Structure 1
């Protein structure tokens, strides 16, 4: 238990240091690495074959890509271009008006002869025929409207990280751009079919299954636009 507390305290300290450093120096770019952390998959990396000597009286090396061959991505580690063109609009309007009222009454004529004794207990008057009376009324009015418009037009290069048994490929891509003290990050991941990849080795985002597209950023501007943490907690858990 003590060891766990020490590890937790160390993690909190490192996180705090990272936040302080980012506040002072601005966001740092992530190191360039194989994008396997976007969508964890089981990957098998094969060893590269040694270069084979050219055959006698041949201008081409055995196993090299030919000029007229298919250059589309099809193996782990190949790169393809993803065209993201999102232009979505949604408009919804709902209105609810509900009213309900009810009334219930009940009495008792005989109850082991105790109905007369109850009359003495209530000097102000007691009527056994109107022993119980319940009335209720509820009214609810509600209205809501959604008017959303989104437009994102970007291009990103993705890497094939896995090839499924049916030939479909898992792709992942990440792009970071830093301008002054603001960092913009674009990530894309999903599953594509080889036949959907064009001859120019590109694919549209609408042809990606299980697509995960994220476009955001962090830095001074994003931090000023974000709601303070304390206010977010109050708004989320407030019962009123």
Structure 2
């Protein structure tokens, strides 16, 4: 199935940020799904999910040229040789921290249940360890457009939750590295975190899946993070 877009394929990252970004000859359905959900705007997640479900190969082509595109296919053994396939980013993010929540069973269910009732999608979540076994902090990320609605929701149930404060931060970005090799090659997370640390980039939240690692950082460091990781993983060469 050929899909014509305004770009000539799927790149290792956004060429507008990283001129050395390389067009991929092929990518797996899983990788494409993760890249789309992490901020890459080449294909919508729904179209990739449908193709994956019915095992229909996709070819991403340009509407403006006859150049070969990128084939989106089921995974094969050769793809495991690449450490990661691409880096995605999203600036449309926000972060919320609930400070000093009572550390009791059901508190997280109440928080995220209330947000879900208002159709607010939450992405990355981290809960701090409770030193005194009485209070804890919960931090989560969400779409920037939902930030005001989420804060209003949490303030409505403050008495029920019993937290000390809600802290909102609209100036964050999500950076993700994606690759099926994460299943079998150790050290990828260490490389990512070390590279960002060397550039003085602090990590607010970390989230992982089988083939993706995402971090939430200050938005001002978005381009530096993408370029540094692209170089560190050698994505400009096949």
Task: Please tell me the TM-score bracket, short chain as reference.
Answer: under 0.3
The structure with the largest alpha-carbon Rg is 1
What's the TM-score, normalizing by structure 2?
0.22
Higher strand share: 1
Higher helix share: 2
What's the TM-score, normalizing by structure 1?
0.22
